[in-house]
Amino acid sequence: MWTKHPDQMQVYDIEAFLHSKAAREYSWRWQKESPVWKAQPGIAHKALAKLEEAGMLSLLATQNFDALHEKAGNSPDVIVNLHGTIGSSHCMTCAAPYRTSDIMDQLDQVSDPHCRRKLHYQGDLPCNGLIKTDVVYFGEALPEGAMEKSLRLSTQADQLWVIGSTLEVFPAASIVPAAAQAGVPITIMNMGRTRYDRLAKRLIREPIQDALPKLVEETIASEQAA
């Protein structure tokens, strides 16, 4: 995405967001109008919800921040949004949580949203901190505990599936060598080559929307037969 649309990197630049009203208005407006906000889950997302329903998914670590796994029905217990999520927002001063949908609904009236929580320690005046989506912007740290949880669960898993990633972005990509070191069999499903093809027991070079539902069906069937 960043390669195809370099202007979008500006949307997620934390320094600009902190220091410029125009940058914040641009960031909010762009996010509201982007496919990231408007997209709906596809059959591949739904396949992963089915896998969880069958009790076979302990971790869904994703670099996407479109909140589509939540929309598809996977539970927050298994989802780790390594690069955050557009589904929720927070005040950067007092950490008050906000629903992004509420802010988007108001965006035509409030183009640069600020926190309205009344703070007791300042005489019940509103906090007035900046509100930002929970997407990890360039220059921000990953959500606390995200990598730790991903590494812990992926190294304990019976299998690790890599779905639609070139494994070029770290630290997320390091889940794969960590799992390989722990002896976890790895499946890589991606149309092109990836950095860690050599660590995979199984390489699947088919479109995800075809290959993933098939793999989920087969996996559930073989578990039921066992």
Of the candidate residues 63, 93, 111, 187, the single one contacting Zn ion (CB under 5 A)? 93
What is the chain's alpha carbon radius of gyration, rounded to the nearest angstrom? 20
Type of residue at 28: W
In the set 56, 94, 142, 203, which binds Zn ion (CB under 5 A)?
A: 94
Please state the closest distance from residue 130 (CB atom) to Zn ion, in A.
9
Q: If binding is defined by CB under 5 A, does position 129 make contact with Zn ion?
A: yes
Tell me: is residue 115 an annotated ligand-binding position: yes
Token pair of 108 as six digits: 């035509």
∠ Cα 94 95 98 (to 5°)? 120
In the complex with Zn ion, the residue whose CB is nearer, 91 or 104, is: 91
Q: Which is nearer to Zn ion, 117 or 195 (CB)?
A: 117
Q: Does 116 bind Zn ion (CB under 5 A)?
A: no
Q: With CB under 5 A as the contact rule, which of the stretches 32-40, 50-58, 88-96, 191-199 interacts with Zn ion?
A: 88-96
Minimum gap (Å) between residue 120 Cβ and Zn ion: 13
Q: Which stretch binds Zn ion (CB under 5 A): 48-56, 126-134, 196-204, 215-223?
A: 126-134
Chain centroid to Cα 130, Å, comes to 22
- Tell whether residue 96 is a contact of Zn ion (CB under 5 A): yes
Give whichever of 104 and 127 is closer to Zn ion, judged by the CB atom: 127
Active site residue 120: no
Asked whether position 92 contacts Zn ion by CB under 5 A, the answer is no
How many angstroms separate the CA atoms of 84 and 15, rounded? 17
Is 130 an interacting residue with respect to Zn ion (CB under 5 A)?
Answer: no
Q: What are phi and psi of 128, to 5 degrees?
A: 65, 15
36, 203 contact by CB (below 8 A):
no
Q: By CB under 5 A, is residue 127 in contact with Zn ion?
A: yes
The one catalytic residue in 19, 83, 90, 114 is: 83
Instruction: Name the segment binding Zn ion (CB under 5 A); options: 20-28, 121-129, 136-144, 184-192.
Output: 121-129
- Known binding residues for Zn(2+) are 91, 94, 115, 127
Residues that bind Zn ion (CB under 5 A): 91, 93-94, 96, 115, 117, 127, 129
Active centre residues (catalytic):
83
